[in-house]
Structure 1
Amino acid sequence: MLLAGAGGAQAQQARILKLGHILGPESQLGAGAAAFAEEVTKRTGGRYKVELYPNAALGGEVEAIKAVQLGTVDVTFVTGAPMLNFVPDVGIFGIPFLFRDAVHAHAVFDGAIGQEYLEKFRAKDMVALAWGENGMRHMTNSKRPVTAPEDVKGLKIRVPQSEVMVLGFKALGADVAQLPFPELYGALQSGQFDGQENPIATILSAKFAQVQKYLTLTSHSYDPAAFLIGIDAFEDLSDEDKSAFREAAQAGGQASRKAAAEAQANGVKTLQQQGLQVVADFDRAGFAKAAAVAMPDFEKKFGAETIARIRNVQ
């Protein structure tokens, strides 16, 4: 789609790219997408402009990834969980308690492992430009405080469209099911689910405090995000513009990390003020041990050596 600039012989034509994501503009994904859009315009001298479509305006994440593959959406900034539906190897990052903390995760994604996994998208007609961040995921529910693994048993928990997440929460004894994010607020409000798990920034931006009572700071998994563009669209770019897009995506990734970290640091207090009862002191070792029931499945799927390689990154 071409958009003509202002009239006159000197007017440039800007190629307009559509970028969709599932959260609001004020979210960590919103911050990353806005930074990406700004940097693309700046680094290409205005020859490319990015229009942002937040709040799943272009569909949920699985739909958005399919659209990028087909070329009907130019770029998407998606969270890690649904990526495994297209690049199964990426599901390894959803293993519960794989990462010690966000610092550990950043070391993995910024290093050789992260680069290796970005390259895996090419086989699925996409280019992953750079990693960003959704954040450390935590549990909320409307039924009871969760302080130990046994408190999860029987809770109806929504997880993203990720079989890895399903296995992890089944190991904890939850009554677990997948649901696209755009449908989640209504499902919590109606009682279809008792709870869900997401980063603090997402819990804030989605206003889940209105339909949940308890928040447990489980940090049970780290969820990356990634900027994806269709491979044909990317290969049509000049070498200079390919570099510009990658650099813009790296800037967007850093912006999403910053927003996620700020929400993690300051958002819990805000959620308390909004009425959520926060459990900060919980049995993390017990949770990890309970979730490890699923580890044989994960090792079979992803390889014990690969899991150990990620765990051992310093």
Structure 2
Amino acid sequence: MKKKAALFFSGLLVFALAACGGDEGASGSGDTITWKLGHLSNEDHQWHKTAEKFAELVNEKTDGQIEIDLYPNEELGSETEVLDSIKAGTADLTISGETMENWAPEAALMATPYAFNNEEHLQKVVEGDIGSEIEESVKEDVGVTPLYYHIRAPRNLTSNEKIETPEDLSGFKMRVPNVPLFMKAWEEAGARPQAMDFSEVFTGLQQGVIDGQENPVDLIQSGGLAEVQDYVNVTEHVYSWIYVVIGNDQFEELDEDLQASVQEAAEEAQEYGMELYETETKEIEEELKEEGMEFVEVDQEAFAEKMQPGVESSFDDVQLDLYERILEAGE
């Protein structure tokens, strides 16, 4: 009887251990892994449409083992808050760019005023050695892994009075994202910048807390800013890109096959996002004009000249080296 009892309890122990082992979803055992992706744009924005495509591709390529829930409109918090949540394990992915400068100084080069001549120059940098160095710094210092990127339309300044030269910025209160480099550059240009979450911009403009803001046309449209701003001043002061990133821990918990599937999905999503960018950007400009916004030509050289001292004085030696290499790549 004692021997039978021992065998019985031994069998129970083996069963229990096997059952516990089945909970390790990230190892690829077959359990569903659910990730949360939070970002600032709305459901009609190309970033969100691309994220939907990415989620669909990931689910398909992992045979349903990974599902991605999307939270647009800063539903999980601001860009900085979601990055913090990823580190804490309460979110998993976000869309982020120069804001990551707060952890990885090299990320400032993703959106440096007047560093890039055009989209071709930008893409050459992103996909070359400089882009790889920035990706590595993001991974090490921010704790997130870039999966794919979006090229962004150039940033322009919106206002209710035309701003054609830096002299027109005197006393101009404007919103900038939480990026120290942007603060310094616009201060040097003569404005009064203040950091503010994008979700607060419309109300800030409506209530006169700020006089203007700067963003690509897609965010000007998705934020409904045509209702509270009359002019898009074509400063084109920043050509930039932005990454879709996942927490290092979340990605490294996957086995190699699942990691490969996610990366494959990311490559296809990037192609899809590029198609949307190319077709939608011009359409958005026309739609903003139809909504009553006037596009104003400005003295871009004057803005570049004013901002450059602020840019260079903001950089440490590593950033300055990257900046100079970016300028050389465009020559």
Q: What is the aligned counterpart of 2:224 among 204, 207, 216?
A: 207
3-state secondary structure, aligned to 1:58: coil
Partner of 1:14: 32
Amino acid in structure 2 at the alignment position of 1:296: E
Q: What is the aligned counterpart of 2:201 among 170, 184, 188?
A: 184
Following the alignment from structure 1 to structure 2, what is the Cα–Cα distance between the partners of residues 262 and 187? Answer: 31
Deviates more, 1:123-132 or 1:48-57: 123-132
3-state secondary structure, aligned to 2:75: coil
3-state secondary structure, aligned to 1:72: coil
Following the alignment from structure 1 to structure 2, what is the Cα–Cα distance between the partners of residues 309 and 54? Answer: 35
Deviates more, 1:194-203 or 1:241-250: 241-250
User: What do residues 17-56 of structure 1 show as CA deviations (whole Å, max 9, x unaligned)?
Assistant: 1111111121132122112112211221221111111111
Q: Is 1:33–2:57 an aligned residue pair?
A: no
Contact 1:28 1:257 in 2 (8 A): no
Amino acid in structure 1 at the alignment position of 2:197: P
Partner of 2:329: 313
Any residues of structure 2 matched to 1:104-115 within 5 Å, and which?
104-115=121-132
Offset at 1:309? 0.9
Partner of 2:247: 230
Alignment root-mean-square deviation, CA: 2.0
Amino acid in structure 2 at the alignment position of 1:184: V
Partner of 2:63: 45
Relative to structure 1, the CA distance from residue 202 to residue 254 in structure 2 (aligned partners, 3 Å threshold; closer, same or farther) is farther
Any residues of structure 2 matched to 1:159-178 within 5 Å, and which?
159-178=176-195
Aligned length: 302
Partner of 2:303: 287
Amino acid in structure 1 at the alignment position of 2:174: I
Question: As a proportion of its length, which structure holds more helix?
Answer: 2
Partner of 2:256: 239
Following the alignment from structure 2 to structure 1, what is the Cα–Cα distance between the partners of residues 177 and 53? Answer: 25
Q: Is 1:197–2:221 an aligned residue pair?
A: no
Contact 1:157 1:177 in 2 (8 A): yes
3-state secondary structure, aligned to 1:97: coil
Following the alignment from structure 1 to structure 2, what is the Cα–Cα distance between the partners of residues 138 and 236? Answer: 40
Deviates more, 1:108-117 or 1:199-208: 108-117
Amino acid in structure 2 at the alignment position of 1:28: Q
Contact 1:32 1:254 in 2 (8 A): no
Partner of 2:289: 272
Q: Is 1:258–2:288 an aligned residue pair?
A: no
Q: Is 1:60–2:44 an aligned residue pair?
A: no
Following the alignment from structure 2 to structure 1, what is the Cα–Cα distance between the partners of residues 90 and 324? Answer: 38
Any residues of structure 2 matched to 1:77-88 within 5 Å, and which?
77-78=95-96, 80-88=97-105
3-state secondary structure, aligned to 2:158: strand
Q: Is 1:103–2:120 an aligned residue pair?
A: yes
User: What do residues 70-97 of structure 1 show as CA deviations (whole Å, max 9, x unaligned)?
Assistant: 111011122x131111212211222210
Relative to structure 1, the CA distance from residue 187 to residue 302 in structure 2 (aligned partners, 3 Å threshold; closer, same or farther) is farther
Following the alignment from structure 2 to structure 1, what is the Cα–Cα distance between the partners of residues 217 and 280? Answer: 6
3-state secondary structure, aligned to 1:136: strand
Relative to structure 1, the CA distance from residue 254 to residue 165 in structure 2 (aligned partners, 3 Å threshold; closer, same or farther) is farther
Tell me, which stretches of 5 or more residues in structure 1 are unaligned?
A: 3-11
Amino acid in structure 1 at the alignment position of 2:38: G
3-state secondary structure, aligned to 2:63: coil
Partner of 1:6: none
User: What do residues 181-200 of structure 1 show as CA deviations (whole Å, max 9, x unaligned)?
Assistant: 11111111111110001111
Contact 2:175 2:214 in 1 (8 A): yes
Tell me, which stretches of 5 or more residues in structure 2 are unaligned?
A: 1-22, 24-29
3-state secondary structure, aligned to 1:275: coil
Amino acid in structure 2 at the alignment position of 1:166: M
User: What do residues 246-304 of structure 1 show as CA deviations (whole Å, max 9, x unaligned)?
Assistant: 2323333343343333343221111111011211x321111111111214314446443
Identity of aligned residues (%): 29
Following the alignment from structure 2 to structure 1, what is the Cα–Cα distance between the partners of residues 318 and 275? Answer: 30
Contact 1:200 1:263 in 2 (8 A): no
Relative to structure 1, the CA distance from residue 309 to residue 299 in structure 2 (aligned partners, 3 Å threshold; closer, same or farther) is same
Relative to structure 1, the CA distance from residue 171 to residue 258 in structure 2 (aligned partners, 3 Å threshold; closer, same or farther) is farther
Q: What is the aligned counterpart of 1:145 among 128, 146, 162?
A: 162
Amino acid in structure 2 at the alignment position of 1:245: V
Following the alignment from structure 2 to structure 1, what is the Cα–Cα distance between the partners of residues 163 and 218? Answer: 20
User: What do residues 200-256 of structure 1 show as CA deviations (whole Å, max 9, x unaligned)?
Assistant: 111111110001111112211023211221222111111121122223233333433
TM-score in terms of structure 2 length: 0.85
Partner of 2:154: 136
Deviates more, 1:249-258 or 1:101-110: 249-258
Amino acid in structure 2 at the alignment position of 1:247: E
